[in-house]
């Protein structure tokens, strides 16, 4: 991921202001260590810290149209840029950068081109002809983006708010699937899929449609001119991504240029579930596997750096960001700049263990919609910022715009697990249960989900709690509501993270970017009503859901089980081979 910073409509066009913008942009150097570029037109500044992945030689930013009246800085990847170039036959391109199409599409179509982009992106476009600017963020919010306002009415945009918190009176999250137009002086949604309304879909489940859509999502993310890898925890989601990559890499441009060797990476405490499962999947797929062990003290020592980079004190985000941050440093040391990862699968498939308790298909679907809408505040934020801390880009096939629409269009009755006496994400597992050309070993394909913080080692959370208890006193907790009236920390661990955050980002707008909702086992506040026994639970860990999966499966009776190797067709949907349960 690159880093972008823009200061627009600023009253100061002095050389001192330009130097200030460069200084602030260098706070994003971790995101883009390969080059810094800056564009200035009067009191408008665009700065870019580049992580070079596509077009290493000519793709430095800012990027321009032919006569350089339109300038763009962008963070992300436009996977369909070659197709879009074909729609612009009267335009001359000066680079092979995938993001250069943004300037030309704006020339051709005005502001209504953003939905044509297939990829992950945040960008700022400035039109020198009329002093107009346009800002947009990708559909799900995989790339991080913030917007702020200065005392002189200047508008600031940045990948991370550490560049703007000193110069802006107010700043906030830039919402996913949204654009800001200076002509309208306001925001509007450019991404309006059917699922966003939370209406209950009715499309029959077709396992081959699902399989083909995920394979397409993985393959398009193999667009790279630099070595890449896959994060491989050994769970279902990352293992399927690795398997599809292994199956199709040779057919891609990247495979032909860089070779077909795949590097896989896993992290955990000694003896953790992820290390064992990741190694087994790597052996099965024949990847070059890199296994990193960390100790609880390694993680504890990184807490302050992690909070600085992720710009959050939300407890589950900090917990899960630490292993991501540690492994990203190791991956970058191997010369890897990009990795594929499995984020988003649990949200779109209802894969968290608490989904076993969904009372009906309507509530399951609505909860899934809520989870996707919130991803930019949690998993996407963690995965983007914790990897970018070391100049590493993470790509998420499960959050492909087209794939999300396919999955969220399926009748959610097929996603019910508890009532159906099925393992979570059954429709995904079944779609890839190919007996003739197996994607994965059966016990991996049907392995139960682990919460990330627990998958790296079951005593990891206990070590964090013990560390916090040694630094936060009982008296501090008694006064927590007065010390921190907004987002009062309910536990000593949460209090510790808050103290560290306040030292780095002491302004109120920074606090307001943090999501603060009651949650247990990753559920949203509305889903807490499914579990009256969780009402007084102070720990959001997935451990609260450990009993759910086993309880559901022990209730299986023969009449509840679909015959092995047979899927009951729904409304004429095609049948395929598949299993229903087990690991």
Query: So which residues are the catalytic ones?
Result: 2
Instruction: Determine the Cα–Cα distance for residues 181 and 200; give it in Å rounded to an integer.
Output: 32
Query: What is the spatial distance between Cα 358 and Cα 371, in angstroms, rounded to a whole number?
Result: 14
Q: Where are the beta strands (DSSP E) in 281-404?
A: 288-293, 338-340, 393-395
Is residue 1 a contact partner of residue 385, using CB atoms and an 8 Å limit?
Answer: no
CB atoms within 10 A of CB 429: 24
Residues 6+ apart with CB under 8 A from 277: 233, 234, 235, 239, 444, 447
- The helix/strand/coil state of 320 is helix
The whole-angstrom separation of Cα 219 and Cα 202 is: 28
* Gap between the Cα atoms of 180 and 123, Å rounded: 11
Pair 287, 468: CB distance under 8 Å = no
Residues 65 and 101 sit within 8 Å (Cβ to Cβ):
no
CA dihedral 515→319→398→233, nearest 10 degrees, is: -170
N-to-C CA span, the chain: 36
Residue tagged 């630094």 (tokens): 471
Strand, coil or helix: 367: helix
Contact between 115 and 28 under an 8 Å Cβ cutoff? The reply is no
Distance, CA of 68 to chain centre: 33
Residue with tokens 């990247």: 254
- 3-class DSSP string for 437-489: CCCCCHHHHCCCCCCHHHHCCCCHHHHHHHHHHCCCCHHHHHCHHHHCCCCCC
| Pairing relationship of beta strands 35-41 and 155-158 according to DSSP bridges | unpaired
In which order are the strands placed within the sheet that holds 288-293? 288-293, 263-268, 228-231, 338-340, 393-395
Cα distances (angstroms) measured from residue 248 to each of 218, 228, 241, 339, 571? 9, 14, 11, 16, 32
Residue 264 CA to residue 342 CA, distance in Å, equals 13
- Count other Cβ atoms within 10 Å, centred on residue 95: 16
């Amino acid at each position: 991921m690159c880093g972008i910073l823009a200061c627009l409509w600023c009253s100061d066009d002095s050389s001192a202001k330009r130097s200030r913008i460069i200084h602030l942009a260098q706070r994003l150097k971790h995101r883009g260590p390969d080059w810094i570029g800056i564009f200035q037109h009067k009191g408008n500044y665009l700065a870019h810290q580049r992580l070079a992945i596509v077009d290493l030689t000519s793709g430095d930013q800012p990027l321009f149209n032919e006569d350089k009246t339109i300038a763009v800085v962008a963070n992300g990847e436009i996977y369909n840029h070659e197709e879009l170039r074909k729609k612009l036959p009267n335009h001359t391109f000066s680079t092979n950068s995938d993001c250069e199409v943004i300037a030309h599409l704006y020339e051709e179509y005005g502001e209504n081109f953003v939905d044509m982009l297939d990829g992950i992106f945040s960008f700022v476009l400035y039109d020198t002809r009329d002093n107009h600017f346009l800002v947009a963020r990708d559909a799900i919010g995989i790339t991080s983006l913030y917007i702020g306002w200065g005392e002189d009415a200047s508008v600031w945009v940045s990948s991370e708010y550490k560049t703007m918190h000193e110069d802006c009176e107010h700043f906030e999250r830039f919402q996913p699937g949204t654009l800001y137009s200076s002509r309208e002086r306001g925001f509007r949604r450019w991404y309006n899929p059917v699922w966003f309304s939370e209406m209950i879909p009715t499309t029959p489940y077709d396992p081959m449609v699902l399989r083909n859509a995920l394979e397409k999502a993985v393959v398009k993310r193999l667009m790279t001119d630099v070595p890449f890898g896959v994060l491989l925890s050994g769970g279902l989601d990352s293992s399927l991504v690795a398997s599809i990559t292994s199956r199709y890499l040779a057919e891609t441009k990247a495979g032909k240029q860089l070779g077909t060797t795949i590097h896989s990476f896993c992290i955990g405490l000694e003896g953790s579930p992820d290390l064992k499962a990741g190694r087994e999947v790597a052996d099965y797929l024949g990847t070059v596997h890199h296994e990193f062990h960390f100790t609880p003290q390694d993680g504890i020592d990184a807490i302050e750096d992690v909070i600085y980079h992720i710009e959050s004190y939300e407890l589950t985000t900090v917990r899960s960001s630490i292993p991501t941050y540690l492994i990203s440093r190791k991956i970058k040391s191997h010369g890897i700049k990009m990795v594929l990862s499995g984020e988003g699968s649990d949200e779109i498939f209802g894969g968290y263990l608490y989904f076993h308790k969904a009372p009906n298909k309507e509530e399951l679907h609505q909860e899934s919609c809520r989870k996707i809408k919130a991803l930019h505040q949690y998993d996407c934020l963690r995965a983007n910022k914790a990897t970018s801390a070391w100049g590493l880009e993470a790509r998420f096939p499960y959050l492909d715009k087209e794939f999300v629409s396919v999955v969220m269009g399926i009748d959610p009755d097929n996603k019910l697990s508890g009532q159906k006496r099925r393992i979570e994400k059954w429709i995904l597992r079944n779609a890839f249960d190919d007996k003739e050309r197996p994607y994965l070993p059966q016990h991996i394909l049907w392995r139960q989900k682990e919460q990330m913080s627990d998958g790296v080692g079951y005593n990891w959370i206990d070590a964090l709690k013990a560390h916090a208890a040694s630094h936060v006193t009982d008296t501090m907790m008694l006064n927590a509501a007065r010390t921190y009236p907004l987002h009062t920390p309910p536990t000593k661990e949460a209090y510790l993270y808050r103290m560290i955050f306040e030292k780095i980002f002491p302004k109120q707008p920074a606090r307001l970017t943090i999501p603060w909702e009651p949650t247990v086992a990753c559920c949203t506040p509305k889903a807490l009503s499914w579990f009256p026994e969780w009402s007084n639970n102070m720990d959001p860990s997935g451990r609260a859901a450990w009993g759910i999966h086993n309880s559901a499966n022990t209730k299986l009776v023969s009449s509840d089980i679909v015959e092995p190797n047979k899927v009951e067709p729904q409304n004429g949907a095609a049948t395929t081979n598949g299993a229903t349960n087990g690991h």
